[in-house]
A = this chain, B = another copy of it.
Amino acid sequence: MPLPVPVFSSYGSLTEPTGIDLLMEDLGRAFNNDPQMRMLGGGNPAAIPSVQALWRRRMAELLEDGDSFDRMMVQYDPPGGNPAFLRAMAGLLQQEFGWPITPEHLAITPGGQTAFFHLFNLLAGAGRDGGPARRVLLPIVPEYIGYAAQGLHRSFFVATPPVIEDSPDQNRFRYRIPFDRLPWSEPIGAVCLSRPTNPTGNVVSDSDLGHLIDLTRERGVPLLVDNAYGLPFPGAVFTEAKPLWDEHVILVLSLSKLGLPGTRTGIVVARPEIASAMRRITSVSALANNNVGQTMVLPMIQSGEILKLAKHTIGPFYRDASARAQGWLDEAMRGAGVDYRVHHSDGAFFLWLWLRDLRITTWEFYQRLKERKVLVVPGRFFSFGLDEPWDHPDQCLRISFSQPEQVVREGMRIIAEEAARLSKPRAIPAGNLP
């Protein structure tokens, strides 16, 4: 007699198939089993030769020293992170931005994604006071796919469609925060924004961010800023923008886009009460963090070299990659005669493509492309928290340009070919938005 499958508790909501799950499984499977697949789907950073060489040299150094290597492998650090790393990180943020950050403002987590999982569920959801469950307000959607399933409570996120702003540049557009329509009437536990935004490559302007900081401060609501691609590192930002921090802002940095995603290292910068809560959550849920990422970058944080790496290597690498990728995409789309828009690429390493005339949803389009060995991410997975239906994301998809030229270029050619084949004929010539 087969055993019955155990009944899951409400925590089982985390086991339901999700967009991020699909993305990661496809990504991982293709990397490991299907070398022909053109990986324009995942968030995997580029293999930048000089950066990889840097990490190889650093590891060789640790091995030469011996003790440092052994210590990294054989010792548990405190749950909040390595004390030397925390001191160095606090010093860097103080010096670079003048923020009053001490090690007490910091907590390391097993990757930025894990930081958000805990922060969201800590700040929103059902309270112990029996009041209405608080929600996480996303001031701009589409927003990062990885948040979508993280809430342990139903109707966890809340958002309204963004302002869609036409651009003076041909075939470009931009989303802006719909300040007039933000759903403040809901019970809000936190506000969250990725900057640069994954998936769109948007970098919300300093003045819009400042406005958001004021609005959240007034309401006593924490503002979470996901800095996975931002400043001071990894520095995949191509516009003038500066990071902002305040007592009620929770900034989350990551080592992943420095070429170290395999180490899973996130850094939470927050007022001490929040940082301390995160340290405790790590101790309960994970005992301690992995040490490898922190140990690898420690000397570069101590010396400030990490800022130069971000500014002179990683930033320009992705800026150039974005410019080239936009060129290829424009060329492919125009060549195929497809009506399209691309979100302004201010940072990160994605292009967000809008195909208004597609006869099918980009979810179906994604599957066609996969058959042609091109992996992208369909737009709908980045759209959540909306109480009203919104078709727009089903006309959009995310294309990563972090892979080598040939892969990106061929992928874009195939996307354009398929888009031409699957678009409605359009009487009005493609141009600015109607």
Q: A residues bordering B, Cβ < 8 Å?
A: 3-18, 20-21, 24-25, 27-29, 31-33, 42-45, 47, 52, 55-56, 59-60, 63, 66, 69-79, 82-84, 110-111, 113-114, 117-118, 121-129, 133-134, 146, 149-150, 152-153, 189-190, 217, 220-222, 247-248, 259-264, 271, 273-274, 276-277, 280-281, 283-292
Contacts and interface: CB of A to CB of B under 8 A. Distances in A.
B6 A274 contact: yes
11 contacts: A6-B190, A9-B124, A12-B128, A13-B128, A15-B277, A25-B78, A31-B76, A32-B84, A33-B83, A44-B76, A111-B288
A67 to B, nearest CB: 10
A264 B290 contact: yes
A87 to B, nearest CB: 10
A203 to B, nearest CB: 22
Contacts of A274: 6
A78 B20 CA distance: 11
A8 B150 CA distance: 16
Contacts of A27: 76, 78
Given A56-B70, A110-B114, A111-B288, 16 more contacts: A3-B217, A6-B123, A8-B123, A14-B280, A24-B76, A25-B79, A27-B76, A32-B82, A32-B83, A44-B74, A55-B73, A60-B63, A73-B260, A150-B285, A264-B264, A292-B292
Nearest to A12: B122
Contacts of A289: 264
Contacts of A285: 14, 113-114, 117, 150
Contact of A45 (B74, B123, B259): B74
Contact of A284 (B59, B70, B117, B222): B117
Contacts of A55: 69-70, 73
B149 A284 contact: yes
A362 B292 CA distance: 36
A115 to B, nearest CB: 10
A301 to B, nearest CB: 16
Nearest to A69: B56
Nearest to A293: B290
Nearest to A72: B262
Contact of A264 (B56, B277, B288): B288
B6 A222 contact: yes
A9 B285 CA distance: 17
B56 A59 contact: no
Given A9-B126, A21-B280, A280-B16, A117 B70 contact: no
A64 to B, nearest CB: 10
